Amino acid sequence: MKKYIAIILAMMMYPNLYSQIKKMEPPFWWSNMNEKNLQILFYGDNIASFNVESKILPVVDIQRTENPNYLFVTVNTKDLASSNYNLDFVKNGKVEFTQSYELKSRREDSSERRGFNSSDVIYLIMPDRFANGNPEIDTTEDTIEKVNRSNPGGRHGGDIQGIIDHLDYIKDLGATAIWSTPLLEDNEPVYSYHTYAQSDLYRIDPRYGSNDDYRRLASEMHKKELKLIKDYVTNHWGSKHWMINDLPSKDWVHQWPEGFRRSNYRMTTQFDQNAAKVDAEGCMDGWFDTTMPDMNQSNDLLLRYITQNAIWWIEYADLDGLRVDTYSYNDKAAIAQWTKSIMKEYPNFNIVGEVWMHNQAQISYWQKDSKIGAIDNFNSYLPSVMDFTLHDAIGTMFNEDEMHWDKGMVKAYENFANDFLYPDVHNILVFAGNHDTNRINQIFQSDINKYKMVMTLVLTTRGIPQLYYGDEIGILGDKDKNGDGDIRRDFPGGWSEDEQNAFKSSKETNGRTKDQEAYFEFTKKVLNWRKQNEVIHTGKLLQYIPFDNVYVYFRYNDSKRVMVVINNNPNDQKLNMDRFSEGLANYKNGTDIITNNNLDLTEELFIPAKTSMIIELK
């Protein structure tokens, strides 16, 4: 009953929106934005038959498409205060109806917001699998797929409230930012928990909560000095998106004669000077999947639509960053313009793009001001990229006991030897696993010593570390054998019916097991130490060629030095410290922050098999 009363009240307040205009996007905007021209999409039956005028809100452009149900109206907001402004819809010289449009007041210093950076540690969450804070919205009337926790590929009921309920757990762990996989509406009949096939870009999926809930998440996080990073998808929408079902124009999506053509996924064709055009088109214009129509960002109306949508969410929810899915599959000129526009609006913001490639030169092509990109006269304006080559090395080298020319810890050394290719090595996302890769503890067969070596590397090298939820308690998952659902298991304790609650200490009833506690306490200790050490955030990296599968490097600045030792050898090792005199810089003592042991660095350093040390020099 409340739902119908709300609809009736809304119809009374905005009668025109219900009679003629079915959609108006963005639904509102803000005054004092850097970009003064705002494109408003109006959708309704034969809406293109109208002209739009306003006495106060200047209409500078009206564009129609081949579909008469769309009207794209550009207004100029320069020098306009926050208020409601009327737009008159005119036909044959007569005002047929009037639509109100609101410009809101911005938060103070909104344009100066600072994004995530190398002082942060990002905690990646798949919300459907993290925690169920509001079981009443597990299934909703206006979404197709219903909750079924027994189905590994189905919806399990995790939501925004579940994240809010466990912010203290994340803060206690030592993470400082949360990247949640997409939360916008995905109304596919199956696999919708993945949420990368979005059906409404202005609406949080009701099974996760509401737009207000998302804004409340950011607010609650900021109270705890945590940052919120939104997962944004530019390359594709979902097949059930309302606009896909009534396209503004045929070129809104990439069309193929056979109806569907899958991308060849060869992103190298974006810059390969020898690439055949048919292959380049096959990558960029091919669909990522059958339920994910490939969007044509070279369409100016679409490009402005997704640019404004991203800015709308940053402003509305008070976001601290974006992670952009499949960044390098987009039309590269268009995605560069999209990125540039956002960074112009928020100069201190940060955006990290998923560039899943296996060569540092190819990845670095996509980072802002890349010398590699300059060869092609290309600048993406993208501040941050993801270090997939380090991820590749991590997945193999810690299972290689013997070091050879191309095996063992030398893989880490060679990865960082190519840092000269990156314009900004501190603004690179480093990670061992995420929601698309096998669980690292599956790869290492629950060997906590290997986990500690991995995390030592990820948390002390240059860049911005990212952890995947549950790795800190040893969660397993093998997508090769059991599918994606296996690497996206429910966090134990996120549901009221769970027998065990890994959000709680092992000292509490039904809390973490002793093994889970060992993972958690190690991670917590290193993360909280890292939080206080600027030398790890922005210090220089000095590395030594690994011998006997032992990798040594230093992080240093003018006031502090940290020595990191990773012994991936199955045998104990002794290090002659004379070799490391450059890194030691006359320091003679240190403390291993993992064990709290004080060390004499004038003698041979003993390091047990399959062990790492993080030594603060004193």
Compute the distance between CA of residue 385 and CA of residue 393 in angstroms, rounded to an integer. Answer: 17
Q: What are residue 89's DSSP bridge partners?
A: 52, 97
Compute the distance between CA of residue 582 and CA of residue 561 in angstroms, rounded to an integer. Answer: 11
Which is catalytic among the residues 128, 285, 354, 616?
Answer: 354
Compute the distance between CA of residue 313 and CA of residue 197 in angstroms, rounded to an integer. Answer: 18
C-alpha distance across the termini of the chain, in Å: 69
The total of other beta-carbon atoms located within 10 Å of residue 224's CB is: 11
Active site residue 354: yes
Read off the amino acid at residue 161: Q
Q: How far is CA 142 from CA 139, 157, 158, 206, in A?
A: 9, 16, 18, 8
Q: Are 22 and 38 in contact (CB under 8 A)?
A: no
Compute the distance between CA of residue 175 and CA of residue 167 in angstroms, rounded to an integer. Answer: 10
Compute the distance between CA of residue 464 and CA of residue 557 in angstroms, rounded to an integer. Answer: 18
Report the candidate in 471, 225, 205, 429 with the shortest Cα–Cα distance to residue 327.
429
Is the sign of the CA dihedral 175, 179, 185, 188 positive or negative?
A: negative
Q: What are residue 125's DSSP bridge partners?
A: 180
Q: Are 43 and 69 in contact (CB under 8 A)?
A: yes
Q: Counting every residue, how long is the chain?
A: 618
Strands (E), 247-334: 321-325
Contacts of 68 by beta carbon, 8 Å cutoff, 6+ apart: 46, 47, 48, 49
Which is catalytic among the residues 188, 285, 315, 325?
Answer: 325
Tell me which residues are annotated as active site: 325, 354
